């Protein structure tokens, strides 16, 4: 990893980065630590959370919070982080879009060829997290992921934009791209295919649903008296308990 050390030194001396030392061979510098400490958190009018008013099912509370995030004009309130694990138990996270919430399933979509698709095929346990900074709210969800079926997946695929469908049909997601011209050529062919057959569907496109067995709602407080409410599924019923911050 000699090139990484050289890159770090060059970054430190480059005018592009100003006063911020990016990295040294020993890790982050004290300058970076200080700048991170100075960043403001939990600023503005944060939302209020009264746990005594929480509904019996976590999906109900989630929908309430999501609606409030939309009304507060939170940017991309449906964006969520999905975490999966590979066969060695090493986690991977990425941000994608919530497709819906039905039958207690938080839905998202991807190709089975993707990294997440392959990892879910090997291990269907996963986690989701939402963060709405403007409201100081976070939702963490854990459970098993199930496929919604071919019909539901096809409907979702056809509801996507032409560009999104072309991207899915163009190649194998997450594989190495040796030449960017290969992508352009594949996208062109995919668009032509869609023009010839508007109903064409990528057979690998899949709608997934995470069936939760644990959901935690977290409300920030400026003085760190954060409010945490955890729902835990036991014997088919949801138990609610408040947690220490």
pLDDT confidence of residue 152: 95
Q: Give a yes or no: residue 144 inside a domain.
A: yes
Q: How many domains does the chain have?
A: 1
pLDDT confidence of residue 9: 39
Contact 233, 223 (CB under 8 A): no
Q: Give a yes or no: residue 82 inside a domain.
A: yes
pLDDT confidence of residue 175: 82
Enclosing domain of residue 230: 51-243
pLDDT confidence of residue 70: 98
pLDDT confidence of residue 7: 38
pLDDT confidence of residue 26: 53
Q: Give a yes or no: residue 220 inside a domain.
A: yes
Contact 135, 69 (CB under 8 A): yes
Q: Give a yes or no: residue 44 inside a domain.
A: no
The segments of the chain whose pLDDT lies below 50 read 1-15, 17
Q: Give a yes or no: residue 36 inside a domain.
A: no
Give the closest residue to 243 by CA, choosing from 218, 220, 221: 218
Give the closest residue to 95 by CA, choosing from 105, 110, 85: 110
**Residue 163 to residue 116: CA distance in whole angstroms:** 21
Give the closest residue to 24 by CA, choosing from 37, 15, 33, 36: 33
The domain that holds 204 is classified in CATH as 2.30.110.10
Q: Give a yes or no: residue 8 inside a domain.
A: no
pLDDT confidence of residue 43: 81
Coil vs helix vs strand at 60? helix
């Amino acid at each position: 990893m000699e090139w990484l050390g050289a890159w770090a030194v060059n970054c430190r001396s480059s005018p592009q980065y100003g006063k911020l030392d990016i990295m040294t061979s020993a890790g982050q510098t004290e300058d970076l630590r200080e700048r991170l400490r100075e960043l403001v958190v939990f600023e503005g009018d944060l939302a209020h959370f009264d746990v005594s008013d929480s509904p019996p099912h976590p999906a109900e509370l989630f929908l309430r919070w999501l609606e409030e995030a939309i009304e507060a004009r939170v940017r991309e309130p449906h964006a969520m982080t999905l975490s999966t694990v590979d066969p060695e138990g090493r986690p991977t996270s990425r941000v994608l879009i919530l497709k819906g919430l039905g039958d207690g399933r938080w839905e998202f979509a991807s190709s089975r060829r993707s990294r997440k698709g392959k990892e879910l095929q090997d291990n269907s346990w996963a986690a989701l997290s939402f963060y709405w900074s403007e409201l100081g709210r976070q939702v963490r969800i854990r459970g098993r992921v199930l496929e919604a079926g071919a019909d539901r997946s096809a409907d979702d695929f056809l509801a996507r934009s032409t560009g999104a469908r072309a991207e899915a049909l163009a190649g194998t997601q997450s594989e190495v791209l040796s030449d960017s011209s290969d992508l352009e050529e594949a996208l062109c062919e995919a668009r032509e295919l869609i023009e010839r057959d508007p109903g064409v569907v990528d057979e690998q496109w899949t709608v997934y649903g995470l069936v939760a067995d644990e959901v935690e709602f977290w409300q920030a407080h400026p003085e760190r008296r954060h409010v945490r409410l955890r729902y835990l599924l036991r014997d088919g019923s949801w138990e609610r308990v408040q947690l220490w911050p």
